[in-house]
Each structure stands twice: as C-alpha cells, then as structure tokens.
Amino acid sequence: MISLEVLLAFLAASALITIAPGPDNLMVLSVGISRGRSAGIGFGLGCALGCFTHTLWATLGIGAVVLASEATFTTLKMAGAAYLVYIGVQAWRDAGKMALIKLDDGSAEPLAAHVRRGFIANVINPKVALFFIAFLPQFVDPARGAVWGQMLLLGALFAAQTVLIFGSLGWFAGSVGARLQQQPRLAVWLDRCAAMIFFGLALHLATTGR
C-alpha cells in the first residue's frame, strides 16, 4: 500500500523527530532517573500509545475539528498543563521516598500506573495532535489506496519506533537513576529536579499558542 522508499523515509524522519529533545523525551528521562527503569519504560510506552491515539484522531478528522476551535484547543491545552503540574506535585511531595525502597527495577509503583501517566500526558497535549495532522499526510499517496489505511499504518509504525526509542531512554535513565538513588540526599534532589521539569513543561504548554 505504501512504497518501501516512502516507508524508509518515514521511519528515518520519525526516528529523528523522536530522538530530538522535546517534552516527551524530558519526561521519560526525568521519570526514569527519579523513579527507575520500569517507570521510565512504562512512561515511554504510555507516550507511544498516546501517539497512536493521535493517529486515530487525525485519521478520523477529530483532531482537525478540535484544533479548529480556539476554545477547545485552549481547554485541552490547559488540561494538559494541569496534569503535568499534578505529576510534578507528586514528584515533589514524594521526593526521596524511592531511595528508601529496595527494588530490582527501582520502581515502587506498578508498570500500568506509569503507562497511564505517560498516555494521559501525551494524549491531552494539543501540540502533539497538531503535529500528527501536519506530519502523517506528507507520506500518504491517495493513488496507492485508502488514505485512512495508510494513515493508520504510518501511525502504528511511528508508535512502534517510539516504543523502542523511549524504552531505551527509560531503561538507560533508570539504570543511571538506580545508582544515584543510593544516596538519600541526592535522591531528594533528583526527585525535585524531575518535579521542576514537569512544572516547566506545564508552563511552556500553557503559554504557547497554536
């Protein structure tokens, strides 16, 4: 349905975009360092699932409808910012607690909890929705069949490579964090730095326009 050349170009562009420093990268790294490998990988998986959800929205035209309304866009943007503040407050409140819990993966919470947080943080970010609406159609060729099928395939591929890249980032960050968390005072500092990153991302999202 899509030529091999287009698929390879799409994967290359997607990987570069995913690797490039951005809000999702920072969140995965901060969660991994402060909460452990399982947390970082889970948060990254949640972000990847959010990306595929944005693909569904773009395919069905829902994303375009939402972004066409200034009020809806602003509401979604502020909800996303509020959720990031919520995660940041939790990180600040629980600063240093991870250092008191001895687990092989450094995570005191189930994987599903971190997947859920990553998913929500990604899916309610209208900036991500806008990106998919603009990015995916560039690799779609109406002459090669159903546009919706091509969009879903591209979105699935984007989500798959996101899982690999963010999973690697989460594992690496968690490995580094596991060693740093052995120092109680440093663990408190790491958790509070993670909280400040979430606060900063929330401020950035809340103050930027379309």
Least confident of 30-34, 58-62, 108-112, 184-188: 184-188
- In whole angstroms, what is the distance from residue 191 CA to residue 32 CA? 10
What is the DSSP track for 70-91? HHHHHHHHHHHHHHHHHHHHHH
pLDDT > 70: percent of the chain: 85
Mean pLDDT of the chain: 81
pLDDT score at 45: 94
pLDDT score at 13: 92
- In whole angstroms, what is the distance from residue 132 CA to residue 89 CA? 29
- In whole angstroms, what is the distance from residue 136 CA to residue 9 CA? 12
pLDDT score at 160: 93
SS3 181: coil
Residue 164 confidence (pLDDT) above 90: yes
Q: pLDDT digits over 81-137, tens only?
A: 888 888 888 777 776 665 544 444 444 678 899 999 999 999 888 888 888 888 888
SS3 142: helix
* Full-model pTM: 0.76
| Residue in 120, 151, 133, 117 with CA at minimum distance from that of residue 210 | 133
SS3 172: helix
- In whole angstroms, what is the distance from residue 184 CA to residue 133 CA? 45
| Residue in 54, 168, 178, 62 with CA at minimum distance from that of residue 122 | 54
Q: How many residues does the chain have?
A: 210
- In whole angstroms, what is the distance from residue 107 CA to residue 164 CA? 20
Q: Which of 94-98, 159-163, 204-208 has the highest mean pLDDT?
A: 159-163
The set of residues, in sequence order, having a beta carbon less than 8 Å from that of 178 and lying 6+ positions away, is 36, 37, 106
SS3 129: helix
Q: pLDDT digits over 169-204, tens only?
A: 999 988 887 777 666 676 677 777 878 878 887 887
Quick count: other Cβ atoms within 10 Å of Cβ 112?
Answer: 11
Quick count: other Cβ atoms within 10 Å of Cβ 134?
Answer: 10
| Residue in 201, 174, 181 with CA at minimum distance from that of residue 33 | 174
